[in-house]
Amino acid sequence: MNVLLLGSGGREHAIAWKLSQSKNLGKLFIAPGNPGTAQCGQNVPIGVCDIDKLLDFARQNKVELVVVGPEDPLDAGVVDAFEAAGIKAFGPGGKAAKLESDKAFAKQLMRASCVATAEGRIFDRYSEAKAYIASRDEAVVIKASGLAKGKGVFVCDDPSDGILAAEKIMCDKIFGDAGNVIVVEDKLIGEEASILAFVDGRNIYMMESSQDHKPIGNGDTGPNTGGMGAYSPAPVVTEKLMDQITREIIVPIIDGMNRNDTPYKGVLYAGIMATAGGARVLEFNVRFGDPETQPILMRLKNDLLEVLLAVCDGTLDEVTLKWDSRPAVCVVMASGGYPDDYKKGFKISGLKEAQQLQDVMVFHAGTKEVDGEIVTDGGRVLGVTALGQTVQEAKKRAYEAVDLIKFEGAYCRRDIADKAINRNK
DSSP per-residue string spanning 286-328: SS--TTTHHHHHHHB-S-HHHHHHHHHHT-GGG----B-SS-E
Answer yes or no: is 110 within a domain.
no
CATH number at residue 75: 3.40.50.20
pLDDT surpassing 80 at residue 200: yes
Answer yes or no: is 115 within a domain.
no
Q: 199 and 306, same structural domain?
A: yes
In this prediction, residue 224 carries a pLDDT of: 87
pLDDT-derived band at 385, boundaries 50, 70, 90:
very high
Q: 380 and 295, same structural domain?
A: no
In whole numbers, what is the pLDDT of the chain averaged over residues?
96
CATH number at residue 388: 3.90.600.10
Answer yes or no: is 118 within a domain.
no
Q: Residue 111 in 3-state DSSP? A: helix
In this prediction, residue 147 carries a pLDDT of: 87
pLDDT surpassing 70 at residue 341: yes
Domain that holds residue 154: 125-180
What is d(CA 338, CA 381) in angstroms, rounded to the nearest whole number? 10
Average pLDDT over residues 403-416: 98
Residue among 328, 346, 332, 349 at smallest CA distance from 384 = 332
pLDDT-derived band at 149, boundaries 50, 70, 90:
confident
To which H or E segment does residue 381 belong? Answer: strand 380-387
CATH number at residue 294: 3.30.470.20
Q: 304 and 202, same structural domain?
A: yes
Q: Residue 7 in 3-state DSSP? A: strand
Answer yes or no: is 231 within a domain.
yes
Answer yes or no: is 230 within a domain.
yes
pLDDT-derived band at 419, boundaries 50, 70, 90:
very high
CATH number at residue 162: 3.30.1490
% of the chain with per-residue pLDDT over 70: 100
Q: 196 and 309, same structural domain?
A: yes
pLDDT in tens, 228-257: 999 999 999 999 999 999 999 999 999 999
DSSP per-residue string spanning 159-189: HHHHHHHHHHHHTS-TTGGGGSSEEEEEPP-
pLDDT-derived band at 425, boundaries 50, 70, 90:
low
End position of a domain, from candidates 134, 157, 180: 180
To which H or E segment does residue 241 belong? Answer: helix 239-245
Answer yes or no: is 104 within a domain.
no
Count of the separate structural domains present in the chain: 4
Q: 388 and 355, same structural domain?
A: yes
Question: Among 57-61, 109-113, 409-413, which is the least confidently predicted range?
Answer: 109-113
In this prediction, residue 151 carries a pLDDT of: 79
23 CB-contact burial (10 Å; exposed 0-12 / middle 13-18 / buried 19+) = exposed
